[in-house]
Structure 1
Amino acid sequence: MSHPAPPPYAGPPSGPPSGPQQGLPPVGNDYIDISQTARISFARLVRVEVRKSLDTLSGFWLIVAIAVLLIIVDGFVLIVGLATGDSGFRFVDFTVGAAFVLQPLLAVLLIMQVTSEWSQRTAVVTFATEPRRLLVVYAKLAAGVMLSLGFVVVLFVVALACAGLLGLTRDTVEWSFGPGQFFGLLLFEMVAVVIGFALATLILNTPGAIVAFFAVLYGAPTVFGIVGAFWTDFQPVGRFLNLQAALNPAVFGELSSGRDWAELLVALLVWVALPLGLGMTRILRAEVK
């Protein structure tokens, strides 16, 4: 059985294709008007940064490690108090030891928050969703401060629990802890957080920022002490550059004299304000890859 011959080819179709419209609806001037779209609020950015700290594997285990270390430090002080029978223990003995352990860990937590956008190659997505870079960076700082305040609360809860257990067997535990000591400890922790934030914005690399933080807070005081031992004229200058030495009176609630505040403010200007200004400038000008 023979089939009819196909019709001759008439060439490509002319005009728009028939059928339902595909893609986005037509708009004037060939662009999509998003002027009426609501901007992302700062509170939402902060919530996102908090979730990123808790949801990532490294951030989650760092938070767990911080809580465990606080329990270990205060638990060790409790065991020493129970074993020795010494009646000279104070509530501040539990808070100070934990504060020194907590200080660098909070800074590392905030460093990871800031540098993750560049080290994990997510900056393109983040800044495409929210092009206001400084707002994103401020949200990271706010989220880090919120988490840090939460850990300070955990520090006091663990210290209260351990000191209370010791007080059950030692009636002479000294509970005095004034507002000056509380705000001094809070200042001691928050300054470290801000230093970590400033160095993270400047370096934009997690290992480099962590090394720089430990160099500023622990390496530089050692260098200043060695230089001052051989060059006595440097000692007055070194006291204004030694940030850790300027912070130590705060954790004991002894930051009271004008000289103490002057040394702390000058050290903050050198180790916080200067790198923070340079770091913000770099974030605004850095090419997002």
Structure 2
Amino acid sequence: MTTNAPERRTIDISRTEAIPFSRLVKVEWRKMLDTRGGFWLLAITGVLLVFAVAIVLLVIGLDDGVRVGAFDWSTILTIPLSLLLPVFAIQSVTSEWSQRTGLVTFSLEPHRIRVLLAKVSAVILLVLSTIVVAIALGAVANVVGAQIGGYDARWNLEVSTLAATVFVQLVYFLMAFGIGMVLLSTPAAIAIFYVVALLLPFMVYGTLYALFDWAQDFIPWIDLQFATAPLLDPSDSVSTTNVAQMVVACTIWVVVPLVLGSRRVLSSEPK
């Protein structure tokens, strides 16, 4: 007695169109911001921005000698953006493992490199959009501060300084993204990022820089804050050495984590 083998049924997906990259970016943007954690991070950052503006306006009103221009406002308002928003860059990649959504993400889009590029694009859009908000808020605060202080508003923010500010913000966000890819753990990545970006420059490097001559020559090669400082100071001219220091520091803290992290994400098994 013979039996016929069951007919195999296959689905031909060779002509199925790939997911548009713009749709991937929109999805990653929503995954990054459209959560309760994302909402509160944005809300707290907004409160910090308003609080910073209110404090400066209060100082202007109490001290007639204070004059705050557009450059000063840009410096003041980029500080709140640098405190909490890099967490978005970290969570955009670590959440796929900590919340175990990676299996769904990489099943719907098997080409992981496209997913990573979409995540990076969403992070860059976040940086640019927050900078635009900060500039608009700073412009309004500049006019209001001039009215309160009784002086003419100063629009002394040069295009080169603005471009340098955007570049530095991008560097720190990409560093956070790279650290997140390397560790694939939200708490660990956040801790390492803030140690490298905030604690080491202020508590260790700053002390060594002030006490030892060799530290003044060595630290700008390994720390992003010291390496990028000349870019943000319009009174300083950027030398060839400054550029070399920035390239080396960015290679250590941005390029290397991005390369190692990409290899880990592309080879890791989501569970």
TM-score using structure 2 length = 0.90
Aligned-pair distance for 1:261?
1.4
TM-score using structure 1 length = 0.85
Look up the equivalent residue of 1:219 and give its one-letter code. Answer: L
Within the candidate set 128, 134, 137, 1:149 is matched to 128
What residue number does 1:180 align with? 160
CA separation in 2, counterparts of 1:51 and 1:284? 22
What value does the CA root-mean-square deviation take over the aligned residues? 2.2
Aligned-pair distance for 1:88?
2.7
Aligned partners of 2:230 and 2:237 also within 8 Å: yes
What residue number does 1:200 align with? 180
Within the candidate set 16, 25, 46, 1:46 is matched to 25
- Measured against aligned partners, the alpha-carbon deviations of 1:9-38 in whole angstroms (never above 9, x if no partner) come to xxxxxx99xxxxxxxxxx975321111111
**Which aligned pairs between 1:153-232 and structure 2 lie closer than 5 A?**
153-169=132-148, 170-221=150-201, 222-226=203-207, 232=213
Q: Per the alignment, in what secondary structure is the counterpart of residue 13 of structure 2? A: coil
- Measured against aligned partners, the alpha-carbon deviations of 1:118-141 in whole angstroms (never above 9, x if no partner) come to 111101111111111111111111
CA separation in 2, counterparts of 1:96 and 1:50? 27
- Report how many aligned residue pairs link the two structures: 265
Q: Per the alignment, in what secondary structure is the counterpart of residue 38 of structure 1? A: coil
Aligned-pair distance for 1:151?
0.7
Aligned partners of 1:201 and 1:283 also within 8 Å: yes
Aligned partners of 1:187 and 1:250 also within 8 Å: no
**Which aligned pairs between 1:196-275 and structure 2 lie closer than 5 A?**
196-221=176-201, 222-226=203-207, 232-253=213-234, 254=236, 256-275=238-257
Within the candidate set 34, 37, 40, 1:55 is matched to 34
Aligned partners of 2:42 and 2:85 also within 8 Å: no
Q: Which moved more, 1:97-106 or 1:203-212?
A: 97-106
Q: How has the CA–CA distance of structure 1 residues 120 and 233 changed in structure 2, closer, same or farther, with 3 Å as cutoff? A: same
Question: Is 1:276 the counterpart of 2:258 in the alignment?
Answer: yes
- Give the structure with higher Rg (CA): 1
User: Any stretches of 5+ residues in structure 2 without a counterpart?
Assistant: none
Q: How has the CA–CA distance of structure 1 residues 77 and 229 changed in structure 2, closer, same or farther, with 3 Å as cutoff? A: closer
Aligned-pair distance for 1:234?
4.9
Look up the equivalent residue of 1:210 and give its one-letter code. Answer: I
Q: Per the alignment, in what secondary structure is the counterpart of residue 30 of structure 1? A: coil
Aligned partners of 2:59 and 2:66 also within 8 Å: no
Aligned-pair distance for 1:68?
2.0
Aligned partners of 2:227 and 2:242 also within 8 Å: yes
Q: Which moved more, 1:57-66 or 1:118-127?
A: 57-66
Q: Which moved more, 1:89-98 or 1:135-144?
A: 89-98
